[in-house]
A = this chain, B = another copy of it.
Amino acid sequence: MIQTITSASNPLIKSIKKLKSKKMREETQTFYVEGIRAVGEALRTNQEVLHLIYCPELLDSDYGNQLIQTFDESSNVLINVPRDVFKSFALKDGPQGIAAVVRQQWSPLEMINKVGGLWIGLDSVQDPGNLGAILRSSDAVGGKGIILLDDTTDPFHPSSVRASTGAIFTQKIIKASFEKFSLWKSESYFPLIGTYCGDAISYRSYNYPENMILLMGSEQKGLQSEHLEICDEVVTIPMSGNVDSLNLSIAASIVMFEIYAQKRDYPK
């Protein structure tokens, strides 16, 4: 179906704006993505795109227009809006004139056993920008996805989606309580490597298994003793200087790229 909407107070436009709130994202199990690249990745990876919204006046990219032309509007809605309506919900100044409402995809814990490879476990991550950057790095090293433990920020938050630069669509996303995760771990024997700010083996000295979860603590507290207890090994990132820790997404990425380098047998 193709629809033209000329008013920013149209109920559908209003519902798109409301996806900025976590509550509405949870209720509808959808989220908002914006920009040629992000929308392109949503379509390329066969996400369920409920609404594809575009503004002909703003969309001056060939690839962007191709996305519109090849969109299957038999079961979904293609929405044509004027500039002022697009700008009423756009997140970016100078928007590219293409956006989408996409169905959230969540995977169960059992997906880890099924897929194998490298996964990133995050305890109580708070900053959506950090979460998105971790998704981006995980994609870059061929990681499979993330496991969000306990009280965590929303991976479908606009800041996470933007920082992921499309990796929100390629990475599998799992959410679990620590209790459930711990039970799954005790039954699955899937290797779990924690990172710790303190006395532990250097992240450069450890030989990482092919299938594993890299477990990171929260920005404020790091890994807690209950987490460390279920880890098969704990590694640390040695540092000099005055700061006593790194940004969470940076610490996660440094270890991820070490794992990646080991697997690729980089010359060293």
Which residues of A come within 8 Å of B, CB atoms? 41, 129, 133, 136-137, 139-143, 163, 165-167, 170, 202, 204-205, 237-243, 245-247, 249-250, 253-254, 257, 260-261, 264, 266-268
Is A266 touching B170 in the complex (CB atoms < 8 A)?
no
Whether B204 pairs with A267 at a CB distance below 8 angstroms is: yes
Our pick among B137, B142, B260 for the contact of A247 (Cβ within 8 Å) is B137
From A127, which residue of chain B is reached at the shortest CB distance?
B129
27 contacts between A and B (CB under 8 A): A129-B129, A133-B250, A136-B243, A136-B246, A136-B247, A137-B247, A139-B242, A140-B243, A141-B240, A142-B241, A165-B243, A166-B242, A166-B243, A167-B242, A167-B243, A170-B241, A202-B266, A202-B267, A204-B261, A204-B266, A205-B266, A205-B267, A247-B253, A249-B250, A250-B250, A253-B253, A254-B257
Q: Are B240 and A142 in contact (CB under 8 A)?
A: yes
Residues of chain B contacted by A139 (CB below 8 angstroms)? 241-243
Q: CA–CA, A204 to B142, complex, Å?
A: 18
**CA distance in complex: A217, B57 (Å):** 32
Stoichiometry, as copies per complex, reads 2
Tell me the minimal C-beta distance from A130 to chain B in angstroms. Answer: 10
Contacts of A137 in B (CB 8 A): 246-247, 250
Minimum Cβ distance to chain B for residue A109 (Å): 23
Query: Which residues of the partner chain B approach A41 to less than 8 Å between Cβ atoms?
Result: 242
* Interchain CB contact under 8 A, B204 and A246: no
Query: Which 10 pairs show the lowest CB-CB distances between chains A and B?
Result: A139-B241, A142-B240, A140-B239, A204-B266, A133-B247, A250-B253, A139-B243, A140-B241, A254-B257, A170-B242
Nearest residue, chain B, Cβ from A204: B266
Cα of A246 to Cα of B164 in the assembled complex, Å? 9
Q: Is the CB of A238 within 8 A of B264?
A: yes
Chain B neighbourhood of A143, CB < 8 A: 241
Closest-by-CB residue of B relative to A238 is B264
Q: Which of B140, B163, B238, B267 contacts A240 (CB 8 A)?
A: B140
CB pair B246–A205 under 8 Å, yes or no, is: no
Tell me the complex Cα distance, A41–B129, Å: 26
Q: Which B residues are in CB contact (< 8 Å) with A242?
A: 41, 139, 166-167, 170
User: What would 15 more interface pairs be, CB under 8 Å, given A41-B242, A139-B243?
Assistant: A129-B129, A136-B246, A140-B239, A140-B240, A140-B243, A142-B241, A143-B241, A166-B242, A166-B243, A170-B242, A202-B266, A202-B267, A204-B261, A205-B268, A240-B260
Report the bound CA distance from A72 to B184 in whole Å: 57
